[in-house]
Chain A
Amino acid sequence: MRFDKMWQRLYRGIVLGCVFLGDASLRADRIGEMDSISYGGQFLRFFSMEDPLLRTVLLGSLCLGLCCGLLGSFIVVRKLSLVGDALSHAVLPGVAIGFIVAGEKDPVAIFIGATVAGLLGTVLVSLIKNTTHIKEDSSLGMVLAGFYGVGVVLITMIQKTSVGNKAGLDKFLFGQAAALTDKEVGVMAIVAFVSLLVVVVFYKQLLVGSFDAAYSKALGLPTRFFHYLLMLLLAFSVVISLQAVGAVLVSAMLIIPASSAYLLTDRMHRMLILACLFGMITGAFGAFLSYMGPNLATGPLMVLAASSVFVVCFFFSPKHGIISRWLRFRRRANRVRSENSLKAIYQVRESLGFKGEGVLLSDLGDRMRESAKEVKSRVDALVRYDLADLKVHDDSCEVYLTPEGWVRACAVVRNHRLWELYLTKQAEFEPDHVHDDAEVIEHILGEDTVRELERLLDFPTRDPHGKLIPSLTDLQRTLTYASSKGEEASGYSMPKG
């Protein structure tokens, strides 16, 4: 349900965004003339797609974000994040060699060179792993650092040549989206399209291979083929991201949007969609920020945009965010606490034979072995939840349960005693060993389970210690009695044996 809402909101956001962009493009001429330096104006100018140069940059960042989100999701769920990191460094010598062979900054040559280097790197990792005692993390680190070192040497050599010093190959380290050319964006768009197509068409093979490769083999699927296909696509997306993000930080664009998505949803297809969206948004936003300042590399800015999204998801994700988890935990802890208070009140009344209507706080304190202050705070909590009322006399305080409070108290006591009985009768526990278990389970048992237990135990009336078990009919009678007599009658009913 929550997700449906989320999707709705997302959709509305996209529609609004489109309207906004459309409107902006109508007014773009004027903005261009105004030479505005205001952030809003620059923002419109950047995202309006009017200026062909900026359009190239924006489209490139969007393709990059799409690819990284898509492939990043797979490597995050397969716990291959650091393979992505190694791969992104390993492509560097390929970039240099592609450049050397083509003699210029030709996107296709660089693309081929980098892909070959990246794949060579991954092959070397598994070769080292298979032929030596060296562990995977070290072999990843070696490939990462060794290839990167070779890349650095080659790039410094190229920069000494006549074409090389103008080529801006050092931009491949931290990325400069502004340097993207139409041809490069063309390659990026093709890669994005192919990746999307492969993932959509072979979704099931990729899914089962990522979840459990052995099972995929057992199904007779070409598991190894799809693994390498995924690695190839991963290399592709690293390579197309180099110009804009840079070799050093590509892995961040793979890992961070996907991890943010992983915190938001429990379904792979939704994770893929969210990761792509996050990748595209943060990619475009990072490119925009770098466009704002003349001296700013794009890569780090995209990464920071992505990290901000991650931080938000980490704290506020409805399901897995730590704040929402903390709230859920608090709510549960509060419920357990007030149920324990209710139970104690019940037990005090029981020990008095259900005579009298209220329970003295001092009696409650004796029962729970807590100080007057602690008991007072417990009762205050019950009053806040409308489960009890407090009457203050001159020298003492009395607590009265509301009808709802009384029903809840009976229910907890019933759960506890039913479970004790179940453990002694069905699971053959000793009666003096069942209390602790029941203390926990009494807060968890649902109504259906209780019905089941009652049927199983043949509608018992007494627990293993000989105490009465409040039954369902008792509870209902309390409620009808209370509602017919009004609030006054609350807490008077007594469970019958």
Chain B
Amino acid sequence: MAAIPLETHDLTVVYNKKPALYGIDIEVPEGKLVGIIGPNGAGKSTLIKAIMGIVPATSGWVKIYDKPFKKNAKRVGYVPQRESVDWDFPVSVMDLVLMGRYGKMGLFGRAKKEDREIARECLDKVGMLPFADRQISNLSGGQQQRVFLARALAQESDIYLMDEPFVGVDAATESAIIKILHELRDKGKTILVVHHDLPTAKRYFDMLLLLNMRVVAFGPTSEVFNYDLLQKTYGGRLTILSEVADAIR
């Protein structure tokens, strides 16, 4: 039997003495597009960061294809939140995408022709090749997100973790990204996406992880996307609930 792409056991993260994530036990099967949804402060981003060890876990463990993350970092591609970086940083779009290749270059390696070729392909895939030589601050929000996606694609990984890739992007970019994600999934890649928009969540994802510090539910979208579980996830907040009602209808 093939190894499980991503497995966590009792993953707990404590920030300033307050738990942010508590006892996360999940096994993500191969070739699934998984949405992580939950209210603000539910620890969605923290979960993704804890999986990669960016945020230290207080207890529990994570395994990527049966090995700890550090041993298998090359098999994980990451799309951070767009606001997490300084877009005035002096690098070009091409430089940024090449960073996706750094993990594979070794300690002393440099970008080779092959790496550049891959980076160009990835840029082309997200429709950003004409912008390769631009400085990254001269991009719109949607373009920045596409470049981040291209960088993750350049990692040529088996698992992709994406933190809010649809925030602040235009409709065209959103549909372009989701198309690429579906293609990746069809190639057998496993993708986890932090998402905050309930109405689209139902359409986009094969599986949903409902998260509110703990795992409320994890399973195929058709099984877990229902009123009771969503109410449990979001608590009694009215505005969200009416949104939920709309989404379910």
Mark A residues whose CB is within 8 Å of B: 77, 79, 201-202, 204-205, 207-208, 210-212, 214-221, 262, 265-268, 270-271
Contacts known (A212-B85, A218-B73, A220-B73); A266 close to B92, Cβ less than 8 A: yes
Q: Chain B interface (Cβ within 8 Å of chain A)?
A: 49, 52-54, 69-70, 73-74, 76, 78, 80, 84-86, 89-92, 95-96, 99-100, 102-103, 105, 107-111, 135, 155, 161
Residues of B within 8 A of A204 (CB): 99, 102, 105, 109-111
| Number of interchain pairs (Cβ within 8 Å) | 78
Identify which of B69, B92, B111, B155 contacts A267 (C-beta below 8 A): B92
Cβ–Cβ contact B102 & A221, under 8 A: yes
Given contacts A214-B54, A262-B90, contact A219 B73 (CB under 8 A): yes
New A-B pairs, 17, CB < 8 Å, besides A201-B108, A218-B80: A204-B102, A204-B111, A211-B85, A211-B96, A211-B99, A216-B102, A217-B53, A218-B76, A218-B78, A218-B161, A219-B155, A220-B69, A220-B103, A266-B90, A266-B91, A266-B92, A268-B89
Closest to A204 in B: B102
- When distances are taken between beta carbons in the complex, the residues of chain B under 8 Å from A79 are 86
Expressed in whole angstroms, the minimum distance between the Cβ of B89 and any Cβ of chain A is 5
**What chain A residues lie within 8 Å of B155 (beta carbons)?**
219
Question: Does the CB pair B99–A217 fall under 8 Å?
Answer: no
CB contacts (< 8 Å) of A212 on chain B: these are: 80, 84-85
- In contact, A268 and B91 (Cβ under 8 angstroms): yes
Chain B residues contacting A210 (CB-CB under 8 Å) are 89
Residue of B nearest to A220 (CB): B73
A220 to B99, CA, bound (A): 12
Give every chain A residue within 8 A of B91 (Cβ-Cβ): 207, 211, 266-268
Distance in Å: Cβ of A423 to nearest Cβ of chain B: 14
CA distance A268 to B110 in the complex (A): 15
Q: Which chain B residues border A214 with CB–CB below 8 Å?
A: 49, 54, 80, 84
Q: Which residues of chain A come closer than 8 Å to B53, judged between CB atoms? A: 217
A225 to chain B minimum Cβ distance, whole angstroms, is: 11
Of B49, B99, B110, the contact of A208 (CB 8 Å cutoff): B99
Which of the residues A201, A202, A218 comes within 8 Å of B54, measured between beta carbons?
A: A218
Q: Which residues of B contact A266 (CB under 8 A)?
A: 90-92, 135
| Residue numbers in A under 8 Å from B89 (CB-CB) | 77, 210-211, 268
Give which listed residue, A208, A267, A270, contacts B102 with CB less than 8 A.
A208
In the docked arrangement, what's the CA distance between A211 and B89, Å? 7
What residues of B have a CB within 8 angstroms of the CB of A201 in the complex?
Answer: 108
In this complex, which of B80, B102, B110 has the most chain A Cβ atoms within 10 angstroms of its Cβ? B102
Q: How far is the CB of A125 from chain B (nearest CB, A)?
A: 19
Q: How far is the CA of A54 from the CA of B169 in the complex (A)?
A: 60
Q: Tell me which residues across on chain B come within 8 A of A207, comparing CB atoms.
A: 91, 95, 99
B69 contacts across to A, CB distance below 8 A: 220
Nearest B residue to A427 via CB reads B171
Residues on the A chain within 8 Å of B108, using CB: 201
- Pick 14 A–B contacts, CB within 8 A, sort by A: A77-B86, A77-B89, A204-B105, A212-B80, A214-B54, A214-B84, A215-B78, A217-B54, A218-B54, A218-B80, A220-B69, A221-B102, A267-B135, A268-B91
Cβ–Cβ contact A77 & B90, under 8 A: yes
CA of A134 to CA of B86, assembled, Å: 25
